[in-house]
Amino acid sequence: MRPADRSRTLQRRSRYETFEERLALTAQPLSELSLGMEQQLQHHYSELAPAEVVNPIGDFQLESIVDERVSHHANTVNSSAGNVHDLTGVNYVFNNYGFSGQGQTVAIIDSGIAWDHIALGGGLGSGYRVVGGYDFAEGDANPYDDGPSGFHGTHVAGIVGSSDATHRGVASSVDLVGLRVFDDNGAGYFSLVENALQWVHDHRNDFENPITTVNLSLGTTWNSDSVPNWSTLEDEFAQLEKDGIFIAVSAGNSFSSYNTVGLSYPAASPYVVPVASVDSTGAISGFSQRSDRVLLAPGGNITSTIPDHVFGADGNPNDFGTASGTSMASPYVAGA
Question: Would you name the residues annotated as active-site residues?
Answer: 110, 152, 327
Could you tell me which of 138, 180, 124 has the C-alpha nearest to residue 156? 180
14, 20, 22, 27 alpha-carbon torsion, rounded to 10°: 10
Spatial neighbors of 29 by CB under 8 A, at least 6 apart, are none
Query: How many Cβ atoms are within 10 Å of 333's Cβ, its own excluded?
Result: 23
Could you tell me which of 61, 52, 49 has the C-alpha nearest to residue 186? 61
Rounded to whole angstroms, the Cα distance separating 265 from 250 reads 9
From the number of C-beta atoms within 10 Å of its C-beta (0-12, 13-18, 19+), residue 228 rates as middle
| Sheet-wide strand order for 105-110 | 130-135, 175-180, 105-110, 211-216, 246-250, 273-278, 295-298
Could you tell me which of 231, 276, 271, 270 has the C-alpha nearest to residue 250? 276
Which residue type, as a one-letter code, is found at position 126?
A: S
Rounded to whole angstroms, the Cα distance separating 81 from 262 reads 28
